[in-house]
Amino acid sequence: GAVVSQHPSWVICKSGTSVKIECRSLDFQATTMFWYRQFPKQSLMLMATSNEGSKATYEQGVEKDKFLINHASLTLSTLTVTSAHPEDSSFYICGARTLGSNQPQHFGDGTRLSIL
């Protein structure tokens, strides 16, 4: 089946640093990628949607300058949390799918981000 690889799985860093999370589709073309944030005991909250080669579309309330998304190829999307602060600590999950397909997204295993 379709595999999505997300790295790193867990990262701890100091406040003020920037953190990059990678999401790769290993065996299919991910024309569309989704980035989610999940707080403890809550559901997945969509942050943004990106199509390969285009700017990401951010959901209301998500700071695009804070959460930079790049989707430069059909197999790779990155989420960079810039100047991270403790309130950015969360679980981030990417989803990927192929344009026009009726298949649902395939999810990465998520990244646990802890900002000290």
Partner 1 sequence: AQTVTQSQPEMSVQEAETVTLSCTYDTSESNYYLFWYKQPPSRQMILVIRQEAYKQQNATENRFSVNFQKAAKSFSLKISDSQLGDTAMYFCAFMPPFGGYGGSQGNLIFGKGTKLSVKP
| By the rule CB under 8 A, 46 interacts with partner 1 | yes
| By the rule CB under 8 A, 61 interacts with partner 1 | no
Task: Please select the residue that binds partner 1; options are 11, 19, 21, 32, rule is CB under 8 A.
Answer: 32
**CB contact set of 63 (below 8 Å; sequence gap of 6+):** none
| By the rule CB under 8 A, 100 interacts with partner 1 | yes
Beta bridge partners of 46: 36
Task: Please select the residue that binds partner 1; options are 17, 29, 51, 82, rule is CB under 8 A.
Answer: 51
| By the rule CB under 8 A, 116 interacts with partner 1 | no
Q: How near is the Cβ of 95 to partner 1 at its closest, in Å?
A: 7
| By the rule CB under 8 A, 27 interacts with partner 1 | no
Q: Which two tokens stand for residue 28?
A: 């299919």
Q: How near is the Cβ of 16 to partner 1 at its closest, in Å?
A: 27
For the four alpha carbons of 61, 66, 72 and 73, in that order, the dihedral sign comes to: negative
Is residue 21 within 8 Å of 90, Cβ to Cβ? no
DSSP secondary-structure letter at 87? G
